[in-house]
């Protein structure tokens, strides 16, 4: 018999309140959190069921590709963000969802400041979200 250890994504809020848990707020902002998902999470004792995780990943096109993962890792490691010019963006073409920057903007993990700097937003620092987008191996 083979034993398989599954690391489930766990929600911090006992009441599943978005004001208490950044992951819930991120899922709401992505239009993924609804009553059905909430009840499935409640039934799984505040864990994200695997079928819901797969549905989320399929809907959002996750995990991120290797170029977007590299950009995301650099972004969360930077204190001041990254220059859009150094990333090869001159005009406002960074929001194209086909680009690495556009994908991170679409996932609400980054923002553009003053049309010059690409910066991570608070969701990007949550290890559970990093796991869901494919940057970390462990959700905790």
End-to-end CA distance of the chain: 27
Q: Using one digit for the tens of pLDDT, what is the confidence trace for 94-109?
A: 778 888 899 999 999 9
| Domain of 106, in residue numbers | 66-125
Residue 91 scores a pLDDT above 80: no
Tell me, yes or no, whether 86 lies in a domain: yes
**Distance separating alpha carbons of residues 119 and 51, to the nearest angstrom:** 32
Over residues 106-123, mean pLDDT: 92
- 81 lies in a domain? yes
What span, in angstroms and rounded, lies between the C-alpha atoms of 94 and 134? 22
Q: Is residue 101 one of the residues assigned to a domain? A: yes
pLDDT of residue 69: 95
Classify residue 41: in a domain, yes or no.
no
* Spatial contact of 85 and 47, defined as CB atoms under 8 Å apart: no
The answer to whether residue 102 sits within a structural domain is yes
Decide if 3 is inside a domain: no
Asked if residues 128 and 21 have their Cβ atoms less than 8 Å apart, the reply is no
Judge whether residue 72 has pLDDT over 90: yes
If you average pLDDT over residues 77-106, what whole number do you get?
84
Q: In whole angstroms, what is the distance from residue 25 CA to residue 30 CA? A: 9
Asked if pLDDT for residue 17 goes beyond 80, the answer is yes
Residue 6, pLDDT above cutoff 90? no
pTM recorded for the entire structure: 0.90
pLDDT in tens, 20-48: 999 999 999 999 999 999 999 999 999 99
Domain contains 6 = no
134 inside domain: no
Domain tally for the chain? 1
């Amino acid at each position: 018999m083979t034993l398989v250890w599954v690391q489930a994504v766990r929600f911090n809020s006992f009441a599943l309140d978005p004001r208490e848990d950044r992951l819930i707020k991120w899922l709401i902002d992505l239009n993924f959190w609804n009553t059905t998902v909430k009840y499935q999470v409640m039934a799984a004792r505040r864990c994200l069921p695997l079928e819901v995780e797969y549905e989320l990943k399929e809907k959002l096109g996750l995990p991120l590709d290797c170029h977007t993962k590299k950009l995301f890792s650099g972004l969360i490691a930077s204190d001041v963000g990254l220059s859009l010019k150094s990333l090869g963006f001159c005009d406002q073409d960074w929001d194209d969802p086909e680009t690495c920057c556009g994908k991170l903007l679409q996932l609400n993990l980054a923002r553009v400041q003053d049309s010059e700097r690409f910066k991570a937003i608070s969701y990007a620092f949550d290890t559970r979200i990093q796991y869901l987008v494919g940057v970390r191996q462990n959700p905790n």
